[in-house]
Amino acid sequence: MNAIKIVLAGQPNVGKSMLINAMSSSNSLKVGNFSGVTVEKTEICFEHHCHKLEMVDLPGTYSIRGYSQEEKVAHNYLLNEEYDVIINVLDSTHLQRNLLLTLELLKLNKKMILALNMADEAKKEGIEIDVAQIEAITGVPTVLVSASTGEGVDELLERVHDIADSHRRVSSNILYSNPIEEEILKLSKFFNERGFTLRDLSSREIAIRILFEDKDLYRELHEEPIMIELQPQIVASLEHIYTHHETKNINDVKANEYIAIAKGIRMETVKCSRQKNKKTPTKKIDDILINKYMGVPIFLFLMWGLFQLTFELGAIPMEWIDAGFGAFGEIVGSVIPHEATRSLIVDGIIAGVGSVMLFLPNIIILYIGIALLETTGYMSRVAFLLDGFFHKFGLHGKSFIPLVTGFGCTVPAYMSTRTLKSEKDRLITLFILGFMSCGAKLPVYVLFTGAFFGPEQAGNILFVIYIAGAMLGLVMAKALRVFVFKGEDEPFVMEMPKYRMPSLKLIWHTVYNKAKSYIKKAGTFILAASMLIWFASAYPKQPLLGEKYDIQIEQAGENKKLVSKLENQLKLEELEASYLGQLGKFSEPFFSPLGFDWKMAVALETGLAAKEVVVSTLGVLYAVGDDVDEESNSLIAQLKANVSFASAMAFIVFVMIYLPCLAASMVFAKEAGGYKYLFYLFVFTTVTAWVFAFITYRILIKIL
C-alpha cells in the first residue's frame, strides 16, 4: 500500500484540528512534540482509497519566515522534511489575511492544495467564493470545505490522491508590481541565457527568491560560479525596486507586495451579498459577552458555574468509585494470607491509586468546561476583555491564554507562553503560572472542601480557591514587574475568531486524551509512588513495640473499645518510627508554624513529584486514627478527625502556591532558559506559599 505524507499548514484559528478529525476517524491520533522542541504536533494515520495517508498538523503560524518557535518549527519542517502534499487550510471568512501565508507556501514549489475551510460560515455571512478563479490565479487545486458539517471533505481527499499521483508542477499566475516584474524578467533572462538551473526551480522562481533575499537559496548560490556575474545584477535590481517603494527594507517591500496580491485575489474571487450595516451573529454576541460593564461578571458567573458542576456532578460517581475500590480491597485482602504482601497491595497500591482515581470525574468535568469555552471562541474574547485589567498588574491580555490553560495543566500552559514576544512578559507569566491551580490540584481541593464544608458550599469554596489563586498570581506578577523584570509591557494585538458551535469530536478527543493521561499516570507513576510511600511507612519494623502492645491488648480482654484504641495507637507509633515518619519529623519544624503535622508535611514533599500523590500519600498515612469510629474508614472522615479547620485551610493555600509537579518543572526550566530559573521558582513559590499559609493559619486560629 502506497503511503502519502501530508502536511497541514495554516494560520491560527482556521480549524486545522477540526479538519484533520473530519478527514479521519481519529482512531490513530497521536499527540507529541517536534524533535528537540516543546512545540506540540498532531499526527494521524489512516487508509483511504488503497493509500495510507499520514498527516502532520503544523502549529498555526502567520508566517514561516518569522522568529517565534512555532514559525521556526513550521519553516524547518516545510523546508527540510520529506512529505508529498501540503494542505494549506484557510478561513473562508477571512480569505485576504489567510492568503498571505499561502503566498509564502507557493514559493516552496511543493505539491499543494488550498482547503477553504468554514464554507458554511461564509455562506451564512453571504460570502460567495469563486473557487475556479482562485485555482486559476494561484495554480493550486482549491476546495471549499467545512470541517464542522463535512462539506467538501471527500472532494478534498480525492484531490489529495490526484495531486499526489500526478507529476504536474504548480504553475502560478500571480504577478507582482511592475518594478518587481521587470527585475524578475531581467534575472530570468540572465539565467536562461546561461542555461543555469537549480534543483527543480524555474528561472522565474529563482529570480523571485533572489529578489526577496531567500537565505536558503543564497547559501546554495554561494558556491556557484555564476554568483560572480550575478552579484552586480542583484544589486542593480534591488536598487530599482527600492526606488519605487521608498524603502530599502526588502521585508517591507515583500509584505506590501503580498498584501496587495492577497487583496487583489480577494477582490477578483469574493463577493459579499450581506448588507454593510447588518450586524453579524458574532457582533451581536460580542455586544453582550464583552460588554464594558457586563463582560467580566458574565465570565465570573460562567467560571463559578463550571466549578459548581465540577463538584456537584463529580460527587455522584465519587461515592461509587470509593465504594468500589473499598470493596475491591477487601476482596483482594481476604485471599492474601501473607500480612506484608496484603498490606502492600491493599494499603499501598489499591488505597494509593484508588484515592487518586476517585477524582477522575471532577477532572473530566473541568476539562470539558474549559474545552467548551475554548472551542467556541469565547476564551479569546476574555483575553481582550481583561487586557486593561491585566495592564494594571504589568501583563496584558495575551497572557490570559497561558494562564487559563494552567487551570487544566501547567505543562501546556508553560509551552503556550511562546506566543508572548517580549522576554520579560514571558518570564513573568512563567513565574506566576503555578498560581493557576491545575487539574492535578483539584483532587486535593475536592478532598478538603468535601471534608470541611457542606456539599451545598463546596462548589462555591472551590470557585473561591481558583479565583484567589489567580488574583494572587496577578499581585505577584506586579511585584515581579516592579522589583525584578522592570520595563514596559508590550502592546496587546490578538485575533478574535468567530463564535462557533463546539465540535463534539474535538472536545471528545481533548478530554479523552487528558483523562487517558491521568489514568496512565495513576497506573504507572502514582502506582510506583504509592508503593514507595507504603514501603517507607511500613519499614523498619518495630518488633519490641509490637510485643509491648500485644500484652496490653491481651490484658484488655473483651473490652472492644479499648482494644481498638490500642491497635490504632500501635499503628500510629509504628508509622512515626518508619522511614516516612522520620522524614516527616525531620521537616516538621519547618511546617509546624503553619499547623501541619508530620503527615501533612510528608504529603506536601511527595507532591513535588506530582500533585495527585498528595492525596494518595494522605490516603496511606491517615489509614489509622485515634478518634475515628471503626466504621468511618474514608479518608474524608480521617481528615475531619485529625486535622483542624485552620490547618486544612492553610494546607489548601500552600498547595495552591508551591512548586508545580516534576514534569511541569522540567518544562519550565526549558521554556525559561535554564535550571537557574527553576531554582528561583522553587525559592519564590516556597517562600510565598509558607508566608500566605502562615497568615491564613494564624488569622483562622484567632477567629476560631
**How would residue 633 be classed by pLDDT, with cut points 50, 70 and 90?**
very low
- pLDDT score for 646: 92
Nearest to 14 by CA among 498, 356, 460: 498
- pLDDT score for 1: 53
pLDDT greater at residue 462 or residue 377: 462
Q: How many H-runs (helices) and E-runs (strands) does the chain carry?
A: 34, 9
In b/e form, how buried is each residue of 606-641, taking b as 16+ CB within 10 angstroms?
bbbbbbbbbbbbbbbbbbbbeebeeeeebbbbbbbe
**How would residue 20 be classed by pLDDT, with cut points 50, 70 and 90?**
confident
Nearest to 262 by CA among 89, 120, 94, 141: 94
Q: Provide the residue ranges of all domains of the chain, joining segments of one domain with +.
A: 2-165, 178-246, 297-540+578-703
Place of cell 507529476: 167
Nearest to 262 by CA among 153, 118, 114: 114
- 401-451 pLDDT, tens digit each: 778 767 767 766 776 676 566 678 888 888 998 898 887 788 888 888 888
- pLDDT score for 418: 64
d(CA 489, CA 175): 40
Region 457-464: mean pLDDT is: 83
For residue 204, is pLDDT > 70?
Answer: yes
3-state secondary structure of 4: strand
d(CA 200, CA 92): 32
**How would residue 96 be classed by pLDDT, with cut points 50, 70 and 90?**
confident
3-state secondary structure of 117: strand
* H helix or E strand, kind and range, residue 2: strand 2-10
φ/ψ (deg, to 5) at 10: 180, 170
Phi-psi region at 338: left, alpha or beta (left = phi > 0; alpha = psi -120 to 50): beta
Region 135-149: mean pLDDT is: 87
DSSP β-ladder status, 2-10 and 51-57:
parallel
**How would residue 116 be classed by pLDDT, with cut points 50, 70 and 90?**
very high
User: In sequence order, which residues have a C-beta less than 8 Å from that of residue 638 and are 6 or more positions away?
Assistant: 622, 623, 625, 628, 632
Place of cell 495510507: 52
CA atoms within 13 A on the CB side of 268: 15
- 216-233 pLDDT, tens digit each: 788 888 888 888 888 888
**How would residue 497 be classed by pLDDT, with cut points 50, 70 and 90?**
low
**How would residue 628 be classed by pLDDT, with cut points 50, 70 and 90?**
very low
**How would residue 625 be classed by pLDDT, with cut points 50, 70 and 90?**
very low
pLDDT greater at residue 541 or residue 88: 88
- 268-303 pLDDT, tens digit each: 888 877 655 566 677 778 788 877 788 888 888 887
Looking at domain 2-165, what is its CATH homologous superfamily?
P-loop containing nucleotide triphosphate hydrolases (3.40.50.300)
For residue 521, is pLDDT > 90?
Answer: no
d(CA 25, CA 3): 18
